[in-house]
Amino acid sequence: MSKILQAVRGMNDILPGEAEIWENFEEIVRDWLRGYGYRPIRVPIVEPTPLFRRAIGEVTDIVEKEMYSFEDALNGEKLTLRPEGTAGCVRAAIQHNLVAAGGPQRLCYQGPMFRHERPQKGRYRQFHQIGVEALGFAGPDIDAELIVMGSRLWGQLGLDDVRLELNTLGSAEERAAHRVALIAYLEQRRDELDEDGQRRLHANPLRILDTKNPAMQAMVEAAPKLVDHLGDESHAHFDAVQAMLRDAGIAYRINHRLVRGLDYYNRTVFEWVTDRLGAQGTVCAGGRYDSLVEQLGGKSTPAAGFAVGAERLLALWQDGGEAEYAIVRPAPDVYVVHQGEGAQRLAFRAAEALRDVGLNVLLHCGGGSFKSQMKKADGGGAQLALVIGDDEATALEVGIKPLRGGGAQRRVPFAVLAEAVLDALHDGGNNEERREANKE
């Protein structure tokens, strides 16, 4: 026998049972997105590599070491599996002229992202994000709305331990001024910098503040703060965001070291974090990125957005949220058992007739005795079995046997099958209620 092939490390199968929880989750998410006027956009999973290099920035974890990049074997084109959704979304908006033609856009997407990281709990090589991008909005109101929106989703999932961390990255000029101070500070402590830190000292010193290296925490904590270099406009914008959050009753902590792992952000940046997921505690991250559209060749367009890590949010939901209410029991309404050639043909038609009226039907496939088929019908949790043998087939009738809560099997003409089954299912519900009532 040949060796069993395995999925790529860090790329997970989502099996039945789990996948149904995902579907429920996605439904909640879709409703939530509609509630804020976000419209779906679907863009390719593969994009030209230069898109990500330009959008995310050369000196970032993603571009330096996490991208799945390859050359198209046929034409040598440089391609990358998307590591995040903003770049593709903005590329599409520019390419199709969405903002110029339609005004400001609230766009959303969900889907797999790919990063070559060390797999661990909450960190995978294929993972899923739910993202929103608000293009063409300059004011602090959209920043606040994005945050309020996140808060509502946590509430809807029954999560009360997701905290907001907030910061501002100011404007490009303000960051430049801060950068000079920061480099001067870090140069004096060059020997305390790790390898990434040394390399980023001049290329991207802001990112050093975001280090996860425990040995560098105290040093970066004491580093010059960007907030001390902000001008009036940036202050006003940040103050307005905070005022709106206070109005909305949303608690937050200002974290001066929150710089985000991607280069495109400016002004407001935020992360939603929890203590329940260990080191991978950020479930959602985002902010404003006013220069990205122009950087990718579009007309200057202010913008802001965020992305939710679906695996992390689902893990929270399944562990202490309200996921238990959402687990689907995929039991069919009706299981169709049959024996004989004529019976099989009638069974096939019967199953379709019931699906026509919206029922979930499992048609027994693969033969076997009536007894073994009934066992399957019962074990699968169906409410009713349809029983069709040669007798029934000849008479053009169908047997209906309640599987839950008793009741005798009866035969009905095929012509009134759907009606009779709907009646029987309805009765079953009443019996259920009656039994409950009798118990009390």
**Residues interacting with ligand ATP, by CB under 6 A?**
84, 115, 117, 122-124, 127, 129, 261, 280, 282-285, 307, 309, 311-312
Q: 68 or 185, CB closer to ligand ATP?
A: 68
Do 55 and 67 touch, CB atoms closer than 8 A? no
Separation between Cα atoms, residue 111 and residue 43, nearest integer Å: 10
Alpha-carbon gap, residue 326 to 348, rounded angstroms: 32
CB-wise, 208 or 386, nearer to ligand ATP? 208
Residue with the CB atom nearest ligand ATP in the bound state: 309
Report in angstroms how near the CB of residue 276 gets to ligand ATP at its nearest. Answer: 13
Residue (274 or 383) nearer to ligand ATP, CB: 274
Closest CB 430 distance from ligand ATP, rounded Å: 47
Query: Rounded to the nearest whole angstrom, what is the least distance from the CB of residue 161 to ligand ATP in the complex?
Result: 15
Cβ distance to ligand ATP smaller for residue 271 or 397 = 271
Please, which residue, 122 or 428, has the CB nearer to ligand ATP? 122
CB of 218 to ligand ATP, least distance (A): 20
Q: Are 438 and 419 in contact (CB under 8 A)?
A: no
Pick 212 or 371: Cβ nearer ligand ATP: 212
Q: How far is the CB of 283 from ligand ATP (least distance, A)?
A: 5
Residue 334: name the closest of 420, 245, 259 by CA: 420
Q: How far is the CB of 232 from ligand ATP (least distance, A)?
A: 29
Minimum distance of ligand ATP from residue 15's CB (angstroms) = 18
CB of 110 to ligand ATP, least distance (A): 12
In the complex with ligand ATP, the residue whose CB is nearer, 110 or 291, is: 110
**Minimal distance in Å, beta carbon 236 to ligand ATP?**
26
**Closest Cα partner for 132 from 2, 288, 236?**
288
Least CB distance to ligand ATP at residue 421 (A): 45
Asked whether the beta carbons of 109 and 43 are under 8 A apart, the reply is yes
Tokens at 281, concatenated? 């505690």
Nearer residue to ligand ATP within complex by CB, 308 or 421: 308
Separation CA 304–CA 150 (nearest Å): 14
Helix axes of 341-356 and 417-439: crossing angle, nearest 10 degrees: 70
Return the number of the residue (156 or 280) whose C-beta is nearest ligand ATP. 280
We find the least distance from the C-beta atom of residue 289 to ligand ATP, in angstroms, to be 12
CA 15, 109, 55, 148: dihedral to nearest 10 degrees?
-110
> Would you tell me the crossing angle of helices 18-35 and 310-318 to the nearest 10 degrees?
110
How are strands ordered across the β-sheet holding 78-81? 46-48, 78-81, 68-71
Q: What is the DSSP pairing of strand 303-309 with strand 282-288? A: antiparallel
Nearer to ligand ATP, 156 or 431 (CB): 156
- When the beta carbons of 85 and 302 are compared against ligand ATP, the nearer one is 85
